[in-house]
Chains A and B, each alone.
Chain A
Amino acid sequence: MKNLISIFRNGLWAENPVFKLVLGLCPALAVTNTVVNGFAMGLATSFVLIASEIVISLIRDYIPDDVRIPSFILVIVIFVTFTDYFLAAFFPEISNALALFIPLIVTNCLILGRSEAFASKNPLHKSITDAVGMGIGFTWVLVVLSGIREFLGMGSLMGVDILGAEYTEMIIMILPSGAFLTLGAMVGVIKAIDRKVGARND
């Protein structure tokens, strides 16, 4: 049980996909210009991650080593396509906003990375824990990142105007360069926190 909790917490901070593993940066940078988009992307990715890790963990003993990666990619593609159809049918607005980036979850290194590094070597319960932890870890980063960008770039949060009409929008924050700036600053802050906590523990 203690083991499971540490696997779960891994994804939230110590091995956070975006900050520590530096995986899945493409969606983290591309769709985080509004909180709604960032959150939806986080959830969609988490779903694919959890479903893929479950299946891969279940079939891991039957997959020959040579076709390991192609098999994982097939499994991931199946769930991404499912997500694409599902969102288009039941959440058309989210589907419109994320558009191209839903099919692109296939190429999200986070999912293939965790499938290869974790689910292909661990039993079901551990794989699910890892996937949920990583999924939440990925989602919170996207939400915070998109929150900062939307707030500075449009003066609003979740589409609700906060700073009012007088606020001069920093358009750069909405543009791709704003994503790099924000992510860089966040990685810096996370490192600083880690160093402080590390120094205190010594």
Chain B
Amino acid sequence: MADQRASIKRLIFTLTFIGVFGSLFLAFVFNWTNPYILEHEARAREEAILTVLPDAVRYEEEERNDYTFYRGYDEQDQEVGIAVEYSEAGYQAFVYVMVGVDLNREEVVGAHVLNHQETPGLGARITEEDFLNNFRDLPVGEYEVVDSPEEEYEIEGIAGATISVEAVKEAVSGGGMLIMEHFGGDR
């Protein structure tokens, strides 16, 4: 009995020791790598905002109802549109999309996939320019995926990536409407 007690103590000690030592090590690694990771994220966001608002050269953050919007300005300091990050469930996980809207024209002027975990080679093709060009100068609203778009609200899909395409489509449409809802009355 005494033996067993001692051995339980040793078991607990062993696991605790590895756990504590490992946590310390990982805390150090986290401190070391986190600034780089945040930097990548910030750069990716900035790139995305300037991509979805093609005329913008700088932007300002603006909080409204817990959403963070980005107001884009061109070289003459004229406002060119609003961008917002919007997510929808994709095939594997959420697909995060930056959507840019021109308020005067009430049109989506650009979309950019920030983060996704779709299948490489299939769903991951939602990041390709050919597909994202669907979302240039598209009226804000609900869209439909078709083989060869002819109507205003139709967009072209990607073979073998139905679910991923749907996710981006929904995100663009949701993001567009969110912007119009918050800023549509501002003009």
Partner of A89, one of B33, B115, B119: B33
* B149, CB-defined interface residue at 8 Å: no
Q: Determine the residue in chain B with the shortest Cβ distance to A75.
A: B18
From B19-27, B54-62, B130-138, B170-178, the one touching the partner chain is: B19-27
From B9-17, B69-77, B81-89, the one touching the partner chain is: B9-17
* B93, CB-defined interface residue at 8 Å: yes
* A160, CB-defined interface residue at 8 Å: no
Question: A66 contacts which chain B residues (CB < 8 A)?
Answer: 7, 11
* B29, CB-defined interface residue at 8 Å: yes
Which label, helix, strand, loop or mixed, suits the secondary structure of the B interface?
A: helix
Partner of B11, one of A64, A86, A96: A64
Cα(A90)–Cα(B33), bound, Å: 8
Question: A154 contacts which chain B residues (CB < 8 A)?
Answer: 121
Question: A85 contacts which chain B residues (CB < 8 A)?
Answer: 26, 29-30, 33-34, 37
Known A-B contacts A70-B15, A90-B36; the reply to A100 vs B121 at CB < 8 A is no
Taking the nearest CB of chain B, how far is it from the CB of A55, in angstroms? 9
Which label, helix, strand, loop or mixed, suits the secondary structure of the A interface?
A: helix
* A24, CB-defined interface residue at 8 Å: no
Partner of B14, one of A71, A96, A100: A71
Partner of A86, one of B15, B29, B120, B160: B29
Decide if A74 touches B18 in the complex (CB within 8 Å): yes
Known A-B contacts A75-B22, A85-B37, A89-B37; the reply to A67 vs B14 at CB < 8 A is yes
* B68, CB-defined interface residue at 8 Å: no
Cα(A63)–Cα(B10), bound, Å: 9
Question: A63 contacts which chain B residues (CB < 8 A)?
Answer: 14
* B92, CB-defined interface residue at 8 Å: yes
Interface size on B, residues (CB 8 A): 28
Binary flags per residue of B22-50, CB closer than 8 Å to A gives 1, else 0? 10011001101110110010000000000
Decide if A171 touches B11 in the complex (CB within 8 Å): no
Taking the nearest CB of chain B, how far is it from the CB of A80, in angstroms? 10
Cα(A100)–Cα(B121), bound, Å: 16
Known A-B contacts A89-B37, A175-B122; the reply to A78 vs B22 at CB < 8 A is yes
Taking the nearest CB of chain B, how far is it from the CB of A120, in angstroms? 14
Taking the nearest CB of chain A, how far is it from the CB of B84, in angstroms? 22
Q: Determine the residue in chain A with the shortest Cβ distance to B12.
A: A67
**Extra pairs beyond A33-B119, A33-B121, A97-B120 (5, CB < 8 Å):** A34-B121, A74-B19, A85-B37, A88-B33, A90-B36
- 8 residue pairs A–B, Cβ–Cβ below 8 Å: A63-B14, A74-B22, A77-B22, A85-B33, A86-B33, A89-B40, A92-B37, A171-B159
